[in-house]
Amino acid sequence: MPRTRKAHLGHPRMEPRARHEKGGEIHSTLSILEDMYSEKSGPRFDTGDIFENENPEEFLRTLVEFAEKKEAVTDRHFTDDPRLLATCGEIRESFFQSTGSVDEYIPLFDRLRLVARATRIRAIRKTFGGHLNSGLTYSLAFTEDSTFTHLEDTLEELSVSEQIDILHQLETVAADASANGQWSRPALERIHQVYIDLANDKELPLLTSIAANTILARINNEYENPQLGVVRYSGQENDSRLSTLLNSEKAQTYKEQSERLGRQMRTNLPPGRAAWFAPLGSDTLVAFDATLMPIAFAR
């Protein structure tokens, strides 16, 4: 059954106030996040204020940038940041457990771009990443938005790396749409059409078209053998970023190679941190996490 959420697409952009008044004090979004992170306080956001007055995009961007910076520190030690996970968990409780999530107030393409950026962060993938992704499924199933209709034009503004990253995010939305059944079918059909258009668009860089073509094959497989189900688990990462390989013809080859490599070496990586290993090039061995995001490299 479709969730009964109100989509506020095309919400006019406003200057961010980035402040929240509670108990007579004024706090910036960042300072509240820092306080939550250092366990000085809980989420003291005035959610009504964010929805009514503040620019939700700015709010989400501040949140993503905050998480990016924190994770960049622990990434160097191949560990998770428990305080960041706790902060993101609290954000999920405050902003993503009820109808009218903060992300829905952002124009669709900007939202897709921001969600792609957000789900590059492990702590977000493990907490509210899935909500961000399924929010996109819902909006694509039930609303029209010009920024999405001409996605290829909008994509043109971005670097090829970001274009491909966004296409990968959209693939996860397609997987979510496949898993949700009938109500989300329009989202799946729209995404499918987008990939067909991008694969055939001669104005885009060739690599983007190649990526679109590859993903097109994968979402067809995804439809037959979905990786995602309707039931999700806490800490599940692939509901916000799908593994890029699991529905690929090459998956088995890479899996065998990865297992062989794993058996042939000792590493300084914490146990269980790397899910895959692959030699990528004549001089580099890369370790990936379960969603096939690279986490470490060795020469």
Partner 1 sequence: MYDRLEAFLSDNRWGPRDIPNAVKAYLQCSRENRETASAGVRGDVDRLATAVPSVPKPIWEDFLLGIAEIQTYHAQERKLSVEAEARNERASREAIQETTAIIETLAQTGELDPKLQGVVSAFQTALGGNDLEKIHEAASEIWTSCRLKQELLRDHSCADLAKIGEKLRETHMDNFARAEKESEQFGEVLGKQKEALFTRYHTAASQLMTAHSEIRTSLLEHTRHRKQELFSSLPEIHFHSWPELAEDPTMFPFTVPGSPVEHQLALRTLHNLDLRAAIEERFHVDLGRIPLRSQLHLFQFLADRDRTGAIRFENLARQQGEDSSDFATSFLAASEGKEGGDLILGVAEQLPADMATRVFKHYANIVRNIDTGRDELQRIFGVDPDDGALRETIQALISRSNAFLKQVMRNPNSTQVLARLERASADSELFTAAFRTLKEGRDIPFETIKDVTFEKESGIEFGADTAAVEKAKLLFSEAYAQESEVFRSAVVHSFLAATKSADTHFYVLRYKGEPASLLRFDEIHAENGELAKLYFGSFISDAALGNGKLGEALFEESLRLETARGVPIEADCNPLSPITQKYIEAGFVAVAVADYAGLQSFSIRLDERLNAQSVTKKWTPEEVVRAGLEKPPGDTIQVMSGKDPQDIPLNLIQQGYALTRYFKQGNRVYAVFERLSSAGKGVA
Tokens (6 digits) for 108? 């669709």
CA–CA distance, 24 with 27 (Å, rounded to integer): 10
Smaller CB separation from partner 1, 6 or 77: 77
Closer to partner 1 at the Cβ: 159 or 182?
159
92/168 with CB nearer partner 1 = 168
Closest to partner 1 by CB, 50 vs 215, is: 215
User: Are the CB atoms for 33 and 66 separated by under 8 Å?
Assistant: yes
Q: How far is the CB of 244 from partner 1 (least distance, A)?
A: 5
Q: How far is the CB of 137 from partner 1 (least distance, A)?
A: 22
Residue 93 contacts by C-beta under 8 Å, 6 or more apart in sequence?
43
Structure tokens at 9: 């697409």
Minimum Å gap between C-beta 3 and partner 1 is 31
Nearer to partner 1, 6 or 76 (CB): 76
Residue 191's H or E segment, with its range, is helix 185-200
Q: What are phi and psi of 193, to 5 degrees?
A: -65, -40
- Closer to partner 1 by CB, 26 or 196: give it: 196
Closest approach, Cβ 197 to partner 1, in A, equals 16
Hey, how many other C-beta atoms are within 10 angstroms of the C-beta on 228? Answer: 22
* Torsion of the alpha carbons at 158, 201, 221 and 167, rounded to the nearest 10: 10
Q: Compute the least distance from the CB of residue 67 to partner 1, in Å.
A: 13
d(CA 166, CA 197): 15
Cα–Cα distance for residue pair 167/151, rounded to 1 Å? 10
Q: Which residues sit at the interface with partner 1, rule CB under 8 A?
A: 68, 72, 75-78, 120, 156, 159-162, 164-165, 168, 202, 204-208, 210-211, 213-214, 218, 244-245, 248, 250, 254, 263-269, 278-288, 292-299
* Least spacing, CB of residue 35 vs partner 1, in Å: 26
* Rounded-to-integer distance, Cα 78 and Cα 85, Å: 15
**Vertex 114: Cα angle to 214 and 2 (nearest 5):** 80
Cβ 144 to partner 1 shortest distance, Å: 28
- Please say which residue, 90 or 165, places its beta carbon nearer to partner 1: 165
Closest by CA to 61, choosing from 13, 95, 111, 11, is 111
